[in-house]
Every structure is written in structure tokens, then in C-alpha cells.
């Protein structure tokens, strides 16, 4: 087992850091407070190849391995979890779904555009009555000759407001199907943008599909394969979100530790106080544990086996660490951890999202237990 990053990966990390410091960090606070997507930064990211991070060169992607890509997400999240989530939705949920399940024609048509950032991808699975329970998806795909009509409502569509392409999941004759629906397709309306606690520079919209007709050729994969496509996408996203959790946690510790060296109370910097030392140390322990869990999971993605179990573990742990660490680091910063003109409050609000987006932690707990009991030949129900 070689636990070192390759020279190339270390180079990437340095490059990601430079990029984030220059393009993401300076506006992160303002974009969050004004709830604006970081479109300028996304364009710059596209120029660096980040929007096609894991796509092969033939589609103008950067052909990064998933570990390097996880590093990218981690680095961006240190400055803006919103931007990291936006990018991860685009790459892990949408672009890689097309890469893994698309026909050569579909890949030719969409991947270069996604890699160039000319089209941003959005993922439309969740519905008002289908949150954790994906089987309850009610959006219908009704065949109509060589076309398909999509009818239904999707909520919490990440990247909804800025997307040019929607990956929509609907119930067809043989089970759930996945469809590629361009934003300008008649019958598709991007609606209400959710005002959120955190991730305020990301966009989550309601999507209306009313007699939205697409060609049958827009279906991704085989009829009835939608469920599997969605699960694999979410497993990839789980690893990315855990990487985001890692990034925001590590950065929170750095910011709070720096503050602790400067803030003097009772005659000494608070870094000299054992309780503060304890908070920082415990947070660091959690972050280190998460770090190797994330990279291991990212490595598994590249092995192309079944890593669903590990995805659930890393996502659940990543959410837990991000919540716990940002909460503690707010406490280290005291009143300044509560003020929006300091970065910690935003990190706290953003980190809280990780227990919910990409599947609530309770669902991941269930999936982990399901695997364990399956190994003992028992089926458990949610």
C-alpha cells in the first residue's frame, strides 16, 4: 500500500490551490451574501479543464483520476462549498453519467460542451414525495412514437438556475429511465429557486415538466436502467461531497487556529488554553480520519467495482465531521464565529448541508446496515 500522492497529484494540488486562492476565495463571501452563482469563476474553471475534470481527452476533458478530482473538490470547498457542490453536480452527477452510460452519439453531443463549460449540467431526481424514497418518483415518461413525453415536478434540482442540460429521471414502462433534456426544450420550465440556509451561491430549483417531449434517443442507457444510473451517480457524488466536507473542515481548523493565536483573553492567546487545544486536536483527528477515507473511496471509484457501501460510509462520515468541526470552530471564534463578515459563520451554514444533500445521513446509515445484514443473508427494509 502506497499512501503517498504521486508527483503529478501533488502538482495538481498546488495548481488547484492557486486557482482557488485567485478565483474563488476573493468573492466567496460576497457571492454567498448576495446569493449569486459564481459564473465568472466557473468560466475560469472551464478554461483550466475543471468542468471536464474526469472526462477523457477525446472529449476535451482533463482526464483526472477520481483521487485528483476529489482533491480539486476538496480545495475549492476550502474557499467555497457552494462552488465545489456546483462543480461536483456538473461533473459527478451529470457528465460522468453520460460518460459511463451514454451512446457514442450522446457522448459526442454533450461531453465537449460540458467540458468547455458552455453547458452546465443539472440533476433532476428528487420530487416532493420522493426524497429518500427514490422508488416513489412519480414523474412519467410516456412513449409517443419515437418521442417520449415527460410529465412531473422535480424539486431541489442542483444547478437548476444555471443549467443548459438536465438529467431527468422518470418512470417509464420498464422502470425508471434517465433522460437528457436540454434547457430550451418546450415543456421544461425552471421555476422557484429555494432560498437556503447555506450553499447560497449554489442554486436549487423546482423544475416543471409539462408535456415535455424529447426524442427517445435522449434516453441514457437502457429502459429501466435509470435507477442504476441514479444510484451510481449518487455514489460518485457521495465521494465528492465527502471531499467537500474534508475541505471545509480542514480550512475551518486553519482559520480558527490562526484566530486562537491572535485572540488574547485572560492575558494570553486562547491557543494557550487547554480547552481550545482540545477542540482543535479533536477536530484534526476527525479530519485526518476523513482524509484517508475520502481518498480511499476516490481510489475505489477509479477501480470501477461496486463501491456503494464505501460511498455511503464516506458520505455519512464526511457530513458528521464537517458538522462537528465547523461547529467547534465557530465556538473557538466566539462572537466572531457568529458574524457574517467573518468566514466561519458561512462555513458552519454550508457544512450543515452535507447531512442532507446527496441523501440524508439516515438513508446512508440504512444502506450501510443493509449491506452488513445482506452479508448475513438477511434483507432489511427501510
Partner 1 sequence: MDFTFSPEHIALRRMIREFAENEVAPIAAEIDRDHQVPMETMRKLGQVGLLGVCFPQEYGGMGAGEMGYCILMEEINRVCTSTGTNVGAHIGIGAMAIYLDGNDEQKRRYLIPLARGEQFAAFGLTESGAGSDAAAIRTRAVREGDSWILDGGKVFITNGGYADVVTVMAVTDPALGARGGITAFIVETDWEGFKVAREEDKMGIRGTSTAELVFEELRVPHENVLGKVGEGFVTFMKSLDMGRLTLGAACIGGAEMALESAVRWAKTRRQFGAELASKQAIQWKIADIATELEALRSLVYRVAWLVDTGQPFSQLAAMCKLYGSEVASRAIDIALQIHGGLGFSRDFPLERGFRDARIGEIYEGTSEVQRIVIASNIFREHGVRIRP
In this chain, which stretch among 39-47, 124-132, 209-217, 237-245 interacts with partner 1, using CB under 8 A? 124-132
The reply to whether 381 sits near partner 1 by the rule CB under 8 A is yes
Closer residue to partner 1 in complex, CB, 219/355: 355
> Closest Cα to residue 355, out of 29, 87, 81, 25?
81
CA–CA dist 219, 154 (Å, integer): 18
DSSP assignment of 63-106: ---HHHHHHHHHHHHHH-HHHHHHHHIIIIIIIHHHHHH--HHH
Note whether 220 and 180 are within 8 A (CB): yes
DSSP class of 195: P
Binding-residue pattern over the window 151 to 190 for partner 1, x denoting contact by CB under 8 A: ----xx----------------------------------
∠ CA 293-53-283, nearest 5°, is 30
- Work out whether 256 is an interface residue with partner 1 (CB under 8 A): no
Q: Which three cell numbers stand for residue 331?
A: 465556538
282 makes contact with partner 1 (CB under 8 A): no
Binding-site member from 314, 355, 367, 370 for partner 1 (CB under 8 A): 355
Whole-angstrom distance, CA of residue 100 vs CA of residue 262: 50
Pick from 21, 197, 285, 372: which binds partner 1 (CB under 8 A)? 197
337 binds partner 1 (CB under 8 A): yes
Is 141 a residue that touches partner 1 (CB under 8 A)? no
Residue from 6, 47, 132, 261 binding partner 1 (CB under 8 A): 132
| Among 104, 145, 186, 195, contact with partner 1 (rule: CB under 8 A) | 195
**What is the closest distance, in whole angstroms, from the C-beta atom of residue 355 to partner 1 in the complex?**
6
Count CB atoms within 10 A of the CB of residue 22.
11
Least distance (Å) between residue 27 CB and partner 1: 17
Q: Which residues pair with 157 in a beta bridge?
A: 205
- If one asks whether residue 341 binds partner 1 (CB under 8 A), the answer comes out as yes
Which H or E run includes 173?
none
Binding-site member from 6, 108, 147, 338 for partner 1 (CB under 8 A): 338
CB of 90 to partner 1, least distance (A): 20
What are the CA-CA distances from residue 336 to residues 202, 223, 276, 317 (Å)?
A: 25, 54, 15, 27
109/194 with CB nearer partner 1:
194
CB of 376 to partner 1, least distance (A): 19
Closest separation between CB of residue 73 and partner 1, Å? 20
Q: Indicate whether 352 belongs to the interface with partner 1 (CB under 8 A).
A: yes
Exactly one of 39, 173, 339, 374 binds partner 1 (CB under 8 A); which one? 339
Strands 165-172, 121-124: parallel, antiparallel or unpaired by DSSP?
parallel
- What does the alpha-carbon distance between residue 139 and residue 137 come to, in Å, rounded to a whole number? 6
Angle at 60 between CA 55 and CA 63, to 5 degrees: 35
Is 131 an interacting residue with respect to partner 1 (CB under 8 A)? yes
Q: Judged by CB, which is closer to partner 1: 378, or 381?
A: 381
What's the DSSP call for residue 305? S
List Cα–Cα distances, 18 to 4, 76, 290, in angstroms. 21, 10, 23
Which residues are CB-neighbours of 51 under 8 A, at least 6 positions away? 42, 45, 87, 90, 91, 95, 114, 115, 116, 117, 120
- For the bound state, the minimum distance from the C-beta of residue 345 to partner 1, rounded and expressed in Å, comes to 4
Q: Which three cell numbers stand for residue 201?
A: 451561491
- Contacting range for partner 1; rule: CB under 8 A; set: 36-44, 76-84, 252-260, 357-365: 357-365
Please tell me the count of residues contacting partner 1 according to CB under 8 A. 43
Q: CB of 28 within 8 A of CB of 79?
A: yes
Interacting residues with partner 1 between 59 and 118 (CB under 8 A): none
What angle do the packed helices 81-88 and 343-352 form, to 10 degrees? Answer: 40
Query: Is residue 47 within the footprint of partner 1 (CB under 8 A)?
Result: no
> Where along the sequence are the contacts to partner 1 (CB under 8 A)?
126, 129, 131-133, 135-136, 155-156, 194-198, 264-267, 273, 275, 330-331, 334-335, 337-341, 345, 348-349, 352-353, 355-357, 360-362, 365, 381-382
Amino acid at each position: 500500500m502506497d499512501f503517498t500522492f504521486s508527483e503529478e497529484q501533488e502538482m495538481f494540488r498546488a495548481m488547484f490551490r492557486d486557482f482557488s486562492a485567485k478565483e474563488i476565495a476573493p468573492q466567496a463571501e460576497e457571492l454567498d451574501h448576495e446569493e449569486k452563482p459564481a459564473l465568472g469563476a466557473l468560466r475560469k474553471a472551464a478554461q483550466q479543464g475543471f468542468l471536464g475534470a474526469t472526462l477523457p481527452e477525446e472529449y476535451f476533458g482533463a482526464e483526472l483520476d477520481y483521487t485528483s478530482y476529489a482533491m480539486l473538490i476538496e480545495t475549492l470547498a476550502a474557499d467555497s462549498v457552494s462552488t465545489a457542490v456546483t462543480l461536483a453536480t456538473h461533473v459527478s452527477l451529470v457528465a460522468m453519467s453520460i460518460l459511463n452510460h451514454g451512446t457514442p452519439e450522446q457522448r459526442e453531443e454533450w461531453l465537449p460542451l460540458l467540458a468547455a463549460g458552455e453547458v452546465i449540467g443539472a440533476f433532476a431526481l428528487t420530487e416532493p414525495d420522493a426524497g429518500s424514497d427514490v422508488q416513489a418518483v412519480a414523474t412519467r415518461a410516456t412513449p409517443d412514437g419515437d418521442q417520449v413525453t415527460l410529465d412531473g415536478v422535480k424539486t431541489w434540482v442542483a444547478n437548476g438556475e444555471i443549467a443548459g442540460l438536465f438529467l431527468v429521471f422518470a418512470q417509464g414502462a420498464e422502470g425508471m429511465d434517465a433522460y437528457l433534456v436540454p434547457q430550451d426544450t418546450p415543456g421544461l420550465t425552471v421555476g422557484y429557486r429555494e432560498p437556503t440556509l447555506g450553499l447560497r451561491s449554489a442554486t436549487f430549483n423546482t423544475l416543471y415538466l409539462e408535456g415535455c417531449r424529447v426524442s427517445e434517443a435522449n434516453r441514457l442507457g437502457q429502459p429501466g436502467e435509470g435507477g442504476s444510473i441514479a444510484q451510481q451517480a449518487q455514489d460518485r457524488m457521495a465521494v465528492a461531497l465527502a471531499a467537500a466536507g474534508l475541505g471545509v473542515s480542514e480550512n475551518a481548523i486553519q482559520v480558527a487556529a490562526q484566530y486562537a493565536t491572535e485572540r488574547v483573553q485572560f492575558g494570553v492567546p486562547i491557543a494557550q488554553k487547554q480547552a481550545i487545544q482540545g477542540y482543535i486536536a479533536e477536530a484534526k483527528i476527525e479530519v485526518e480520519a476523513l482524509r484517508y477515507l475520502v481518498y480511499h473511496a476516490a481510489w475505489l471509484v477509479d477501480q470501477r467495482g461496486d463501491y456503494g457501501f464505501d460511498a455511503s460510509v464516506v458520505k455519512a462520515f464526511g457530513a458528521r465531521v464537517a458538522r462537528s468541526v465547523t461547529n467547534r470552530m465557530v465556538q473557538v471564534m466566539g462572537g466572531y464565529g457568529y458574524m457574517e463578515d467573518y468566514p466561519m459563520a458561512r462555513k458552519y451554514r454550508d457544512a450543515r448541508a452535507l447531512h442532507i444533500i446527496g441523501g440524508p445521513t439516515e438513508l446512508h446509515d440504512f444502506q450501510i446496515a443493509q449491506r452488513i445484514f445482506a452479508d448475513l443473508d438477511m434483507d432489511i427494509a427501510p
